[in-house]
Amino acid sequence: MSDGCGTYAHWPLHVWAPDADLVRALNELADVEATLVTSDGELPPDAGNVEVLVPGFSIERVRECIAANPKLRVIQTMSAGVDYLEGEVPETVRLCDARGVHDVTVAEWVLAGILAERRELPRFARQQAAGTWEGGGAAGELFGSRVLIVGHGSIGEAVEKRLAPFEVTVTRVARTAREGVHATSELPVLLAEADIVVVLVPLTSSTRGLVDKDFLAAMPDGALLVNAARGPVADTDALVSELQSGRLRAVLDVTDPEPLPAGHPLWSAPGLLLTPHIGGNTTGFPARMIRFISDQVERFRDGNALENVVSGDY
């Protein structure tokens, strides 16, 4: 059997994974032997024979796993982003992300965040906790808004699908232009026409700091920034400045730094709804993750083309 990175004929196919349910599912596959790997302690006894690694622990542990397995050929992440593995993957190993697995979870978080912000639900939650009843002025609404999706991949498509019932106008942006999708080079013009900007780009050398002072300044007064990508995609100081001025509002699931330390100005920034990087964490996610990775392992076992192979500055 050929894996595209060399030929091997030893069985079973050894896989290391950090999730017990995933390990059980993989062990139900023919000619596959999966072993649970935790974040610490000794490496499992099958070290040296592993062809597929599913990382889910510290980068130090990932390095240890890679070094212990010269036969390693595939690293399959459970995340859509693989920025944390930059510079860590040997040339003989193919890196695959979990694009598609997180579409439902992140898209629902984006929609929930937008609706919560527009209808001022955080304010009413604070009032409930304080035992006060204050209606206040009229809240905003999502209906008819102009939404700019920056990073229109599979998650962006899922977000757009869920926005459709609200009769919004969606403008799509990706790294390069294609039919119906604008290039990031057009952002200075597109941002000025957006009520809501949803950021879904992967963290790469070209997107780090993309949401900078100029990006934010181009957004209209009262616009909403939603970041479900990675914290370093945004310039935190520039964002804090805009929030403190009251000119923009934001919904963030990611920050830079992360976790956000005590006393950081984002904690008290006005107009901000903040969640601790939980956009992809739902009860339905594990089943989708297990199904995708099991299918991926079967593809590799059978010598078929892998999905979601990462190449270049993805």
Number of other CB atoms surrounding residue 128 within 10 Å: 10
Compute the distance between CA of residue 154 and CA of residue 17 in angstroms, rounded to an integer: 25
Six-digit token pair at 106?
């992140």
Bridge partners, residue 252, by sequence: 227, 274
- Catalytic positions are 230, 258, 277
Closest among 171, 247, 175, 253 to 213, alpha carbons compared: 247
Check residue 8 and give left, alpha or beta (phi > 0: left; psi -120 to 50: alpha). beta
Show the CA angle centred on residue 223, arms to residues 143 and 146, nearest 5°: 40
Q: Is 305 exposed, middle or buried (0-12, 13-18, 19+ CB in 10 A)?
A: exposed
Contacts 24+ apart (CB under 8 A), 63-71: 63/88, 65/16, 65/37, 66/90, 66/93, 68/43, 69/16, 71/8
**210-232 per-residue burial string, b: 16 or more CB within 10 A, e: under 16:** bbeeebbebbeeebbbbbbbbbb
CB contact at 8 A, 296 and 307: yes
Bridge partners, residue 224, by sequence: 196, 249
CB contact at 8 A, 104 and 162: no
CB contact at 8 A, 169 and 145: yes
